[in-house]
Amino acid sequence: MNKPKVGIINVSGYTGVELARLLSQHPEVALTSVTGRSSAGKKLGEVFPHLADLALTIEPELGEVSFAFSAMPHKESAKEVIPLLSRGIKVVDLSADFRLKDAAEYPAWYGFTHPEPQLLSQAVYGLPELYRREIAAAQLVANPGCYPTGAILALAPAVKAGIIEPEIIIDSKSGASGAGRTLSLPTHFAEANEDASAYALDGHRHLAEITQELRLFRPQLPAAVTFVPHLIPMTRGILTTGYAHLASGRIASGSRGSGEVFQLYQDFYRDEPFVRVVAHPPHTKHTWGANTCFIHPTLDLRTGRLIVISAIDNLVKGAAGQAVQNMNLMLGLHEPTGLGAAAIYP
């Protein structure tokens, strides 16, 4: 009984190497091929000593696999993925190249014209909590961005149930690994340490995903989401705080309303293996290295606002872990396979 062979395109960034870590522990698939450009020819363990037990050599081109992950940057990823699809290979693309349904969004947000717009409707947005069935049937899954994962999971129950006004504010705080392994001044240690700052105030690319997904629940949702990402001095983790006014007449006032909201969230995520609705504000630390998303919904009783907070590890549930979760669904495996490890605390 042969395990499916899987490969990673561009193992040398943080999402790529995190995929390699998770797949190395996966009991039902075999990671047999990893590619990289600058590091092609090296052993994986030379570049990443923690993965030395994986006796893999970084290759210039993907070997024979039946399942592939692309951890290439946007625009380049589509070029790698399209040929694989025509060879019948199933793919989870961790870039943004197949996340947006409307091809016109690509020039606006990403500065390029999509090479195969017709694929956008075939690709499934890889948030299993929303699209489990579609993912299981897909050949191509577009793995969500790290911020959208935390934001959509935090807000979907409220938006779907129509309990909030469509005026939503999303304030996210991310560790520096979200910016990748490519060097930059803002992620230079002496700059990022002991610092907090906001960025992309004129519109972060992930806003396109967030709006697209939330609108599916309420097509009339106007362009009323404000999303401000912040860089804070930690390596992993995204904490997202969402704010929205309660729609009138849907939720009881006072603390009874808090209970109703909590119940609504619990019901929404009742059988989810990786989402936990919790009674206290969550800590990103409790997700470190794990595929968990903690969500804490509550009401600001003074103002009648919903405050909802989510915590994820940006490289796991926000990237590589969710990609493996999608792979499990696409291969018909038990969804949590290989993703059972608890977070590492402290």
Toward a copy of itself, which CB reaches closer, 137 or 341? Answer: 341
8 A C-beta contact, residue 317 and residue 127: no
Helix (H) or strand (E) holding 229: strand 225-231
Q: Up-side HSE of residue 318: CA atoms within 13 Å toward CB?
A: 32
Is-cis flag, bond preceding 73, omega within 30? no
Candidates 100, 146, 295, 324; catalytic one: 146
Structure-token pair, residue 121: 């409707």
Least gap, CB of 81 to a copy of itself (angstroms): 26
Residue 90 Cβ, how far from a copy of itself at the closest point, in Å? 25
In the bound complex, what is the minimum distance in angstroms from residue 20's beta carbon to a copy of itself? 9
293 is catalytic: no
Give the C-alpha separation, 222 to 224, whole Å.
5
Yes or no: say if 321 and 267 are a contact pair by the CB < 8 Å rule.
no
Minimum CB separation of residue 123 from a copy of itself in Å reads: 25
Q: Which is nearer to a copy of itself, 98 or 288 (CB)?
A: 288
What's the closest the beta carbon of residue 337 comes to a copy of itself, in angstroms?
14
**Exposed/middle/buried for residue 145 (C-beta within 10 Å: 0-12, 13-18, 19+):** buried
Q: How far is CA 38 from the centre of its chain?
A: 26
- Asked if residues 4 and 33 have their Cβ atoms less than 8 Å apart, the reply is no
* N- to C-terminal Cα separation, the chain: 39
CA–CA gap between residue 100 and residue 90 (Å, rounded): 19
The residue (of 154 and 329) whose beta carbon lies closer to a copy of itself is 154
Q: How far is the CB of 23 from a copy of itself (least distance, A)?
A: 10
Look-up: residue for tokens 């629940």? 217
Complex with a copy of itself: residue 29 or 239, whichever CB lies closer? 239
Q: Nearer Cβ to a copy of itself, position 135 or 290?
A: 290
For residue 34, the Cα-to-chain-centroid distance in whole angstroms is 21
| CA distance linking residue 110 with residue 116, whole number of Å | 15
Query: What does the block give as tokens for 22?
Result: 């998770």
72 vs 312 by CB, closer to a copy of itself: 312
Active centre residues (catalytic):
146
